[in-house]
Structure 1
Amino acid sequence: MKKLLLGFLLCSVGFGATADWKYSEKVDEMRGTTQYLASLVPEKEDEGVAMTLIAEGYKNKEAYNFHFSLNGAEFDCKVGEICSGFMKADNGQIKELLFEIDKKNQLLGFVIGMGSFAKELSGAKTLYVELPILDKGMMQFKYEPNKLKWSM
């Protein structure tokens, strides 16, 4: 019985488990289109705030757009303005990350300069993103973005 309990406890402990990309699709029957999405949650929440990284895919093969979906807070940026944050891939340099708030859903921030962002993301084992959050200042989120099945 003790061995069984010990085995159960060892199996239930996470050994550096990382979140993988989750894939979904939205079908618009009226227009005859399908939208493909891949989402990646950060390693952990920060003060009850989580920011999911979302890639939009073309024909479920190629990422063409990236945005962040905020949960538990709001971006400290106004609709219609170019907002500024930072990103860092692995042990590389800290780079500016420009984004803009969606007009219909202000909890979404769309990356400006998708090519540059995709280049950083594609080879990274770890990606740090720091964006301005209302009443909380700059908040950092850590992602492990390897294994996106789409080309960029």
Structure 2
Amino acid sequence: MPDTEESTRQESVARATERLRLAESRLARRRQTDCGPSENARAAMRFVYERSDADEDVTPTAIAEHLGVSTAAVTGILDRLRAGGLVTFRAHPSDGRSKLVVPVDRSVDLDDIDPLTAKIRRLSAGLSEEAMVEIAGFLDAVADEVDQECV
């Protein structure tokens, strides 16, 4: 017979994870209509900034691969980011058919683009290193399972 205390803990984690997934889903819907750039646009900006900071070139194809979306979807995202003055394009130095995506103002703080991530970072500051590793591993495993659902 399974340990009822362990079973209760597992159920508690499952319920908390489901609350997180539902909250994320509600946030994604709000961001689509009420709250500035979409989650994919925010993730694209983080990717562009991180690569820019690492002095690496970024192409729309690389963004699409990073986000797991089509290049057509990235074109729409980049058009909106460009219209918002956040990115611009320049010719790829070695591929005349390609373009590079570059941030317009690199002084912008990523926390301003994605304040929720900044809040999560602050929440995690109170955790032990061991707890951070465990939680990150658990959330990565949950994300992998979500990504495999209905494929």
Bin the TM-score by the shorter chain.
0.3 to 0.5
Q: Structure 1 length as normaliser, TM-score? A: 0.33
Structure richer in helix, relative to its length: 2
Q: Structure 2 length as normaliser, TM-score? A: 0.33
Structure richer in strand, relative to its length: 1
| Higher RCO (CA-CA < 8 Å; seq separation 6+) | 1
Please say which structure displays the higher CA radius of gyration: 2
